[in-house]
Every structure is written in C-alpha cells, then in structure tokens.
C-alpha cells in the first residue's frame, strides 16, 4: 500500500460527506415535492432533475465503501415517486428494470411499499369525487404492489421489510373497507334517485 497523507485523506472524506448530505437532502425534498404534484395532478410542475442528482450521489458514495448507506433513503424516495407517477399518469406499474436510474434491489422493494400509502390517498380522493372507476383502478394497483412485496421474506437482508409489509397490509384492508362502503353508498344513492325520478 502506497504512502498516503492521513490528514488529507480525512479532509477529503469529510468534504465528500458534506457534499453527499447536501445532495441527499435535495433528493428527499425534491421527491416529496414531486409526489405532492402527482397527488394534485400537476404534471407540468414535476421536476426530473432528481435523476441527475441520484447519479451524482451514487458517484460520490462509491469513493468510500462506508458511504453506501447514504444511497438508501434517496433511492427509496425516488422509487416511490417514479412508480407513483407511472401509475397515476401512465396507468402502468414500473418494474425494477424499467427505472431510469439503477437502484439497490432492497431499495426498490422498500420504495414500492411506500407507494401503497400514496395510492390510498388517490382512492380516497376518487371516492370524494364519486369516481368509482379511478378508485377501483388505484386499489388494483395497491393489490398488485402488495402481492409483489409479500413474496419476499428475506427479513435479514432487507432491513425494515416486515414492518413495511405489515403497513401495506393494514392500508390495503382499510382501503378495501372504504371502497366497499363507498360502492354500497353509491348504489343506495342511485336507487333513491330512481325512486325520486
């Protein structure tokens, strides 16, 4: 091993870490904003700069083996945003290999779990607007994601998986109850309209 200046090494490592943390925070913030825009159906306000930032983050974290942990949350947030976007605006579920940026497989699984909560919001919004077709469409995607994540039982290699699976199941069950109540209520209202009409 060649001689290295330890002070120089740690100074560079520290400044790299500062840059990583800055980009890390930006990605998390940008994804949260993008998810909000998807919820509000504001497609033109969505920024895809997050893709370049993720690539830059991966490049920086690769310099030091112990910086890999800084990829986890940003990648999960990116997966959540990108999959949610595809479902809402393109009516399709984005598979792992279809992502524009390569992410750790573990972060893909954990990221799609979080999409279930976003889809519940869309179901409830559709119910509020008496839009049964959209409500059922979003619910089918929720089921698809749950069916996907429940296949994995590698709890020792995907940290936090069991908790997220349980969360998905709970959200799915509550949403099913809301959907059944809504459909019954809609039928009743339509029957009453017929009687009045």
Residue ranges of the binding site for Mg(2+): 80, 118
3-state helix, strand, coil in the chain (%, to 5): 80, 0, 20
| CA-to-CA separations, 114 to 56, 81, 85, 108, in angstroms, rounded | 24, 9, 13, 10
Binding residues: 80, 118
Q: Which two tokens stand for residue 186?
A: 């809609």
Single out the residue of 52, 41, 38 nearest to residue 80, CA to CA: 38
Task: Give the span between the Cα atoms of 45 and 38, in whole angstroms.
Answer: 9
Query: What's the length of the chain?
Result: 197
**3 state DSSP class of 112:** helix
């Amino acid at each position: 091993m060649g001689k290295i200046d330890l002070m120089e090494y740690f100074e560079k490592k520290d400044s790299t870490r500062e840059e990583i943390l800055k980009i890390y925070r930006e990605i998390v913030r940008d994804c949260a904003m993008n998810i909000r825009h998807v919820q509000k159906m504001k497609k033109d306000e969505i920024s895809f700069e997050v893709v370049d930032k993720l690539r830059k983050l991966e490049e920086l974290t690769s310099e030091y083996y112990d910086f890999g942990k800084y990829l986890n949350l940003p990648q999960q947030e990116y997966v959540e945003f990108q999959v949610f976007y595809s479902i809402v605006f393109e009516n399709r579920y984005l598979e792992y290999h279809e992502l524009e940026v390569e992410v750790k497989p573990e972060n893909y699984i954990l990221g799609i779990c979080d999409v279930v909560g976003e889809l519940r919001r869309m179901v409830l919004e559709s119910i509020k607007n008496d839009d049964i077709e959209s409500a059922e469409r979003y619910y089918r995607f929720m089921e698809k994601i749950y069916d996907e994540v429940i296949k994995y039982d590698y709890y020792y290699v995907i940290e936090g998986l069991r908790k997220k699976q349980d969360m998905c199941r709970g959200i799915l069950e509550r949403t099913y109850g809301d959907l059944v109540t809504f459909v019954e209520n809609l039928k009743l209202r339509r029957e009453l309209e017929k009687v009045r009409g």
